[in-house]
A = this chain, B = another copy of it.
Amino acid sequence: WQLQHVDESPRLVKKYQCQQFADAMLLANQIGNIAELEKHHPRLVIQWGWVQVSWWTYRQQGLTEMDFIMAARCDELAERSAG
């Protein structure tokens, strides 16, 4: 995960490589599902070959523990998809 600043607020950002567009959509949906369950929502960018995920906490204009938890869970989902 990389730390990026958007409008001076930090975000956790990672790009997952995917074989096909459909794989990228699938991973985005899996991430969307855990986001809905936790009521904590990322920015997702889907393009041929990859999904980029960004986490931050809007009400803090920064990062909270939840962002790091969600980032770790994305890694788990991506590993399972790849495996």
A residues sitting closer than 8 Å to B (CB atoms) are 21-22, 25, 28-29, 32, 35-36, 41-48, 58
Contact = CB atoms under 8 A, between A and B. Distances in A.
A38 B74 CA distance: 29
B36 A32 contact: no
Copies in the complex: 2
Contacts of A46: 28, 32, 43-46
Contacts of A58: 48
Contact of A45 (B21, B32, B45): B45
Given A41-B48, A47-B41, A47-B43, A25 B32 contact: yes
Nearest to A48: B41
A47 B45 CA distance: 9
